[in-house]
Amino acid sequence: MKFSEADVGNGYLIEGYSAGWISISGRRYTRSLILTPSDILPWGPTQAANLTPLHLEAIAHLSPRVVLIGTGERPVLVDPVLYVNLLERGIGVEVMTTGAACRTYNILMAEGREVVAGLILETSESRHDHD
């Protein structure tokens, strides 16, 4: 899915998303990543079932006000125990599909919000693990 054009003056915007890739500022990423308006960082989980508190602690260190967790292609219920540490710090957490997280990130980033997105990009192997 290609996203509409937007002002990139506030930071990195997601230009497109499909199963297995995200396009950011003209570059295509095929592995899970952490996205902030100023940084694109590698991230460990290849599917939502692999999320650990350590994955979310890596996001917390970035001091966001809002965290979006993109769970891959399908909606997944993530145990709040995994992100209770963020909630206790006053950080809002929203869990949704990676496509929805991409769209929401762009909106919040364009509004100037302190948002960080942890976006899971399932590899072809991890997509087959839960079929």
Structure tokens, 129: 């693990």
Query: Which has the higher per-residue pLDDT, 76 or 131?
Result: 76
Residues 28-38 have pLDDT tens digits of 999 999 999 99
Residues 79-125 have pLDDT tens digits of 999 999 999 999 999 999 999 999 999 999 999 999 999 999 987 65
**Residue span of the structural domain in which 55 resides:** 14-129
Q: Which residues contact 100 (CB under 8 A, 6 or more apart)?
A: 70
Structure tokens, 53: 């508190």
Q: Which residue, chain included where needed, has tokens 């979006």?
A: 68
H or E stretch covering 66:
strand 66-70
Is residue 5, in this structure, part of any structural domain at all? no
- The whole-number pLDDT of residue 19 equals 86
- The whole-number pLDDT of residue 9 equals 60
Is residue 22, in this structure, part of any structural domain at all? yes
Is residue 6, in this structure, part of any structural domain at all? no
Give percent of the chain with pLDDT exceeding 90.
Answer: 82
For residue 110, what is the domain's CATH number?
3.40.1230.10
- The whole-number pLDDT of residue 127 equals 47
Is residue 52, in this structure, part of any structural domain at all? yes
Question: 4: closest CA among 17, 78, 129?
Answer: 17
- The whole-number pLDDT of residue 113 equals 93
- The whole-number pLDDT of residue 125 equals 56
d(CA 60, CA 68): 12
- The whole-number pLDDT of residue 58 equals 94
CB 18 within 8 A of CB 2: no
Q: Which residues contact 128 (CB under 8 A, 6 or more apart)?
A: none
Instruction: Over range 55-81, report the average pLDDT.
Output: 94
d(CA 64, CA 79): 20
What's the domain count of the chain? 1
Q: Which residue, chain included where needed, has tokens 């072809």?
A: 124
